[in-house]
Amino acid sequence: MIVGGNPAKPIKRRFGDALAHSLLRSEWWEFDPFDVFRHDPTGVEDLVRRISNNELAKYIPRVVKLNAELEADG
């Protein structure tokens, strides 16, 4: 949804209903942003297809243990 103004009001829908539902079902935000946005940003259908075909791995962030790093510097 594209919104504008103050207070914000809907201007138009960016995607049709079917594509919007496909994007939500794909949970695209669970994937590595570099994989998601590396390709043509207008190719949303291609992104949904790649996720559906298990061509992208879910993103698992690296764990950083701050306490252990602070103790090592101590």
The number of beta carbons lying within 10 Å of the beta carbon of residue 38 is 10
* Residue pair 33/60 in contact by the 8 Å Cβ criterion: no
Question: Cα dist. 52→9, 10, 13, 49, 71 in Å?
Answer: 33, 30, 23, 5, 44
42-57 pLDDT tens trace:
788 999 999 999 999 8
| Reported confidence tier of residue 58, pLDDT bands at 50, 70, 90 | very high
Nearest partner of 49 among 21, 29, 22, 30, judged by Cα = 22
Using the 8-state DSSP alphabet, how is residue 32 labeled? -
Residue 25: what pLDDT?
95
Non-local CB neighbours of 46 within 8 Å, separated by 6+ positions: 39, 40
What is this structure's pTM?
0.66
